[in-house]
Amino acid sequence: MRYFIRVQYDGSEFFGFQRQRDKKTVQGEIERALSIIDKSPIMVKGAGRTDVGVHANGQGIHFDLDIKVPSERLVTAINSIVHPYIHVLECKEVEKDFHARFSVKEKKYIYKIWTGEFSPFKENYYLQYDKKIDLELLEACAKVFIGSHDFHNFVSGSRENSNASIFDVSVQKKEEEIAIIFTGKSFYRYMVRNLVGAMLDVNEKKCDIFLLKRMLKESCFSYQLRTAPAKGLYLEGVYYE
């Protein structure tokens, strides 16, 4: 049977999502739990490989079991093993051709910035930012990134193809918290963190919006801006319909 689960996790407790030898990872912990339940080695596939320190409110994962387990019981069984830094929100049976990564229609990421007084309790979950933020300027930057572009200047490492479509970028402020919300289909390694870093560099007048436009339009032009830290990034949701 093939199952899909939607999972939350605290990324500050893991060496990223992807399985690593002798490292505690999200994928490794879920595979350990499922292998106990199924009494055989189980491998899972995620919708995306979040990096060290990145959190998730709605990571999508699929896997196959040799045994048939009611979805509610499977949620309870997994959660009893992976508690407390991973939590399965839902589980359902899916068709055999369903794939947590390749069946994705849209992903949503949220980057959280805290502009209030420093708090040690927020350190692992926000970028704590002590400079004044120009919301209108951030919103202007956000509009630049919407659409289909070659994001080669905003992706870590070399790739044959860094084309992607971002459907929407919004900036929301609630009291002392600022959330930058990205929705799109394909997001490459460090891409959201690099886009946020570029927006903050514009905010601090280290570059301007015209540079961002050039970085997107000219494939032969290369420029490096800051990478926002992982701790403020959340994979908010993965959508298949």
208 included as an active-site residue: no
Closest of 205, 35, 177, 161 to residue 111, by C-alpha: 177
Residue tagged active-site, from 10, 22, 38, 51: 51
Nearest-angstrom CA–CA distance, 227 and 225: 7
- The angle formed by the CA atoms of residues 188, 115 and 199, to the nearest 5 degrees, is 35
**Which residues are CB-neighbours of 228 under 8 A, at least 6 positions away?**
111, 127, 193, 194, 196, 197, 200
- Cβ–Cβ under 8 Å, residues 180 and 202: no
24 to 32, 81, 104, 229, 235: CA distances (angstroms): 11, 14, 26, 20, 19
User: Residue 136 belongs to what H/E stretch?
Assistant: helix 135-145
Which of 53, 183, 47, 49 lies closest to 109 in space, CA to CA? 183
Active site residues per annotation: 51
